[in-house]
Amino acid sequence: MKVNFEIGKEYRCVGLYGGEYIIKVVCRTNDKIFFVYDERTSDDRSMQSATIEVKTVTVYGKNLEELGTVEMECAVAWSYHSQYATSEDDVDHGYYNALDLDRLYTIEEFKTMQECDEIKNALLALGYTGNYIEIEKLDDIRARVIYSGHLILGIYDFIKHTFVD
């Protein structure tokens, strides 16, 4: 499963000297995000860009149990190279992460993330972008997929892993 940056969403990063940075993604390509800083954390209104990296991370549940691993997009928010560092590898970074790593998830939330990812992959295979979909659960194995707020694409079956209607 892969968690991507989404256009219109806010992402947070802890600042180098405390506090936090909040950004809102306004555009993206396959390898870059373009964002503006939120007015709560910066006066800078210019559009910024950052290169996307992909990391594999573990997702934990409310009881600190391991729910699974996901690939997650992230982008460097800041870098710090100490004057005492002995090599270029001794650089600290702060990241904007597509998945909130400070949060503990329920099993249901993690299952929903997996189901959304499965439907997005099916839509991409059919030529749709995954940006404008809504998923309405009908029962434990089926969901209605709505594209761009009004176009019902069909019913997705999680047992058969395909659209059935």
Average pLDDT over residues 37-65: 88
Residues 27 and 96 grouped into a single domain: yes
What share of the chain in percent tops pLDDT 90?
A: 22
Asked whether the predicted pLDDT for residue 149 surpasses 80, the reply is no
Sign of the dihedral defined by the CA atoms of residues 9, 74, 61, 117, in that order: positive
Q: Domain count of the chain?
A: 2
By three-state DSSP, how is residue 141 classified? coil
Among 105, 129, 153, where does a domain finish? 105
Residues 117 and 96 grouped into a single domain: no
- pLDDT the model gives residue 88: 66
Mean pLDDT of the chain: 86
Answer whether 115's CB lies under 8 Å from 105's CB: no
Residues 101 and 156 grouped into a single domain: no
Q: Which domain holds residue 131?
A: 109-163
Residues 6+ positions from 117 with CB-CB distance below 8 Å: 1, 2, 3
**Lookup: tokens for 7:** 């256009």
Residues 129 and 51 grouped into a single domain: no
- pLDDT the model gives residue 89: 67
User: Whole-model pTM above 0.75?
Assistant: no
Distance between CA atoms of residues 110 and 82, nearest Å: 38
**Lookup: tokens for 110:** 């993690």
pLDDT tens digits for range 69-126? 999 999 988 888 777 767 666 778 888 999 888 888 888 889 888 888 888 888 888 8
Strands 20-28 and 91-97: unpaired
Residues 77 and 137 grouped into a single domain: no
pLDDT tens digits for range 19-41? 888 999 999 888 999 999 888 87
**Lookup: tokens for 19:** 């506090």
**Residue 106 vs residue 149, higher pLDDT:** 106
Among 64, 90, 105, where does a domain finish? 105
